[in-house]
Structure 1
Amino acid sequence: MTEQPPALDASHVYICVATYRRNELLTRLLRSLSTEPIPAQNVIVVDNAPVPAAEATVKRALPLARYLHQPQPGIGTARNTSLDAVPTDAQAVIFLDDDEYVRPGWLAALLDCADSSGAHVVTGPVTPEFTGEEPAWLEEYGYVRRTDRPTGPWLSATGRGGQLRYRRPATNNTLVRAHWFTASGFRFDERFNFSGGEDSELFDRLLAAGADVWWCAQAQVVEVVPQERATKEWLRARAVRGGRVRALKMQAKGTRGGALAVRLAAESAVRIGYGSLRRAQKHLRRRPVTYTDDYYVCEGVGMAQALLGRGADEYARSSRRS
């Protein structure tokens, strides 16, 4: 960055939340936000249920928050509705999920990190809170992403010529300078409405346009994980979905027809083969198979499903959970 942006003022920072029939969890999130130093009217909640289902919840938990109903189904559409409600003088937008709540001091940590770094994007740790007993396999299998990294640039690698390559965040605890949405007009791609992956696709474009990303270890958020998601089967199904999303991204970037089929077939085979090899090596060495090992196989399966026109969309109305 060539110029340090002005310090963020909480009165010009907006929190965007998309929700779908999770009123109990939404209540917990909004109550956690009520103790943070941000005007309640800067919290924008978009209810994506077919008929208004969360308005009373919002008014009880955070009465001055802005409630919007978007009946058109789709996670990307819901997120875009919240962005359209952000005023042009906004300085930053923060994305949170409706199954999370923030730790005390979360907002101050996020804003302080953005101010001190000047980064375009600041993201922080999301710690799971299991509604049931924490799975015994968790530590070996590797379900939780690392949250113990220190505050600083969130780098994946250094490219050719020393060029920095930033990791891609998600919309579960992330601040973005508002000019990306107000002046530059970035929005979520609604082709990902039902598959998911709309956030990773958006951040791919932001990174390609020159956005930099910082990790803020002190900006802590908790994600409530229900028992049905605390299984290896659910994680593998999620990884299969990741393969279908990868295929959809190829289409979004212009790969079509026979070229898309060839690429999907090739990449699917490589991922399934590589993951299977990793798994076999683990078995031979009598070491535990990890989520990363399984992910390669499952992602390849998802890409094969996309090639064959099969597989269910995670955010389709019939499959979304209440």
Structure 2
Amino acid sequence: MTHVAIAVPTFRRPDQLRTLLTSLAAQMDAPPMTIVIADNDRQRSEGVATAEAMAAAGYIHAIDAFVVETPGLCHARNALVDHALAVRGVTHVAMLDDDQWVAPDWLARLLASHRAYGADMTGAPVRYQFDGPPPHWNDALFVFQAERRDDGPTDMLFSLTSAIADRALWDSTPAPWFDTRLNQIGGEDLDLYTRWAAAGRRFGWTNTTEVFESVPADRTSLRWAWRRVWRVGNTDTIVAWNRAGAARRGVLVLRTLAMTGAALLLWPLSALSTQRRLTATGRVIRQFGRIAGLTGHGFKEYGG
């Protein structure tokens, strides 16, 4: 019998967590599920309080909410997997973030596609929702663009959220599943997927359902977007460097320098179009993040 553990890390977002839990309670044609919540705030623990209040009010699904004392996203995710695998009878683990909510058919359709593809893990798109109009740079940069790819088997996934995996995939991966060296800089999902891909694990993708994610006003400034673009390039390179041998590291250095040179050479050609200029500038900034990654410097986006 199918039983899904929904794993959610949370940090000081009680209202958004409540929205997510409400959307999970409204799932149609879904199998039994247990919601596993790791609250990474030992001082206020608002996530645990929210989950306990909803459970006391008769929440439809079982909830396992607990505090992770050690700060850091990787510590929270590792604790989530540990608790999810301890759920009696669990067959699958799905990941969501506390600022997301799901379509009513999310789990049923995600599971159906996962089974049809015979994948070890299957993902679906995340649609970003703004409080007001999207920022003027949104079409030019990838930051808040839903991932686009065809339905079916795929070579790689890039995000844990809106993805479901067989329990066996986690069982066959030695703990800790998430590299704590990436605790404050991110990229822990890409690192894990890179290891799984190297081990021959199979990924799938479906556009039949979706997850929604709230974008707060403080993330709609161009300055914030440039910082995120830089961080993505940075963590991509750090993950690749950590998993590469000496020869591959040499190739990574040469490739990064060549791509940076190309981005700088093409940058002036975008001057006549605002959208092209934004895209080209983002490409350059991402490459500078990659170069910083080669030196071992990481931006601590999750340092708080």
Question: Which of the five TM-score ranges fits, normalised by the shorter chain?
Answer: 0.7 to 0.9
Alignment-derived partner of residue 49 in structure 1: 41
Residue 72 of structure 1: which of 70, 73, 78 is its match?
A: 70
Is 1:15 aligned to residue 2 of structure 2? no
Residue correspondence of structure 1 range 226-245 to structure 2 within 5 A:
226-245=216-235
Inter-partner Cα distance in structure 2 for 1:61 and 1:278 = 54
Q: Secondary structure at the match of 1:200?
A: helix
User: Structure 1 residue 147: deviation in Å?
Assistant: 5.1
Q: How far, CA to CA, are the matches of 1:55 and 1:248 in structure 2?
A: 33
Q: Which of 283, 286, 305 is the aligned partner of 2:271?
A: 283
- Could you tell me how far apart the structure 1 residues matched to 2:278 and 2:37 are? 33
- Residue 289 of structure 1 aligns to which amino acid in structure 2? R
The aligned residue for residue 153 of structure 1 is 153
Instruction: Indicate the larger mover: 221-230 or 47-56.
Output: 47-56
Aligned residues: 293
- CA deviation string 1:132-160 (max 9, x = no partner): 32224433445443456553223xxxxxx
Question: Offset of 1:232 from its aligned partner?
Answer: 2.7
The alignment's TM-score, normalised by the length of structure 1, stands at 0.81
Deviation per CA, 1:203-260: give whole Å up to 9, x if none.
Answer: 111111112221111221101011121233222211211233134224422558xx96
Does 2:179 correspond to 1:189?
yes
Partner AA of 1:53 in structure 2: E
Would the alpha carbon gap of residues 190 and 218 (structure 1) be closer, same or farther in structure 2, given more than 3 Å must change?
same
Structure 1: runs of 5 or more not aligned: 1-8, 155-165, 318-322
SS, match of residue 288 in structure 1: helix
Shift of residue 57, structure 1, vs aligned partner: 0.8
Distance across 1 between alignment mates of 2:205 and 2:268: 35
**Does structure 2 retain, via aligned residues, the 8 Å contact 1:74–1:315?**
yes
The CA distance in 2 between the partners of 1:61 and 1:150, in whole Å, is 38
* Percent of aligned pairs with the same amino acid: 28
Which residue of structure 1 lines up, in the alignment, with residue 91 of structure 2? 91
Is 2:186–2:302's contact at 8 Å kept on the other side of the alignment? yes
Tell me if the contact between 1:141 and 1:290 (Cα under 8 Å) persists in the aligned partners.
no
Deviation at 1:264, TM superposition (A): 7.3
Could you tell me which residue of structure 1 aligns to residue 15 of structure 2? 24
Distance change >3 Å, CA 277–CA 219, structure 1 → 2 = same
- Aligned-residue CA RMSD in angstroms? 2.7
CA–CA distance in structure 2, aligned partners of residues 38 and 28 of structure 1:
20
- 1:77 partner SS: helix
**Aligned amino acid, residue 249 of structure 1:** V
Distance 1:33 1:193 in 2: 28
Which amino acid in structure 1 is aligned with residue 210 of structure 2? Answer: Q
| Secondary structure of residue in 2 paired with 1:278 | helix
In structure 2, runs of 5+ residues without a counterpart are none
One-letter code of the match for 1:198? E
Which amino acid is the alignment partner of residue 286 of structure 2?
A: E
Structure 2 vs 1, CA of residues 308 and 213 (structure 1 numbering), >3 Å: closer, same or farther? Answer: closer
Aligned to 1:132: 132
Tell me, yes or no, if structure 1 residue 274 matches structure 2 residue 262.
yes
- Equivalent positions of 1:216-255 (< 5 A) are 216-253=206-243
Does the 8 Å CA contact 2:68/2:79 hold for their aligned counterparts? yes
1:59 is matched by which residue type in structure 2? E
Q: Which runs of 4+ in 1 moved over 6 A?
A: 262-265
